[in-house]
Amino acid sequence: TEYDCQGLELDAVGLAWGGDFRRDVGQWQARRFVGDHWQIVRSAEEQRYILNTYRVLLTRARYETIIWVPPGSATDEPFQDITRPAAEMDAIAEFLLAAGARALESFHANAETLPILAQLL
C-alpha cells in the first residue's frame, strides 16, 4: 500500500492516476467507485485519505516521477470504460501539464537518468 512506502525513497517512481481523484471546478474531488458509477466522497476523513494517498505516492522519488494518466474513454466508444470518462482524464492531464509536468514524448534521458531508466526496463 501507499503507507508501506512512507519513509521510502526511490530513484524513480511510476504512478498511474485513477479516477478516484479528479479536478472539478478548480478543485480536487475525491471519489470512490461503487457498483457501476463514481460516487463523491463526503466524509472529510476519507477525502484526506485519498488526498494523502496521492501525496505519499508523488513524493517517493529522488530523481524522476512518471505520472501516467490513462486516456479517457469517449461515451460513443463501443466498449466505453465508465471508470475513466474522457473529459475527466483529459482535465487531469491538462492540469498536471499546466503545473509543470512534461509529456513523456518530450522527455529526454540524460546521463543522470539513463541508468535509472535502464533499471526500470
More confident of the two residues 109 and 47: 47
Whole-number pLDDT of residue 30: 97
User: How many residues does this entry show for the chain?
Assistant: 121
* Residues contacting 115, CB < 8 A, separation 6+: none
Does 55 reside within a domain?
Answer: yes
Mean residue pLDDT across the chain? 83
Does 4 reside within a domain?
Answer: no
Number of domains in the chain: 1
Whole-number pLDDT of residue 117: 52
* pTM reported for the whole predicted model: 0.74
Does 95 reside within a domain?
Answer: yes
Mean pLDDT within 56-74: 88
State the cell numbers at 115: 541508468
Does 3 reside within a domain?
Answer: no
Q: Which domain holds residue 110?
A: 10-120
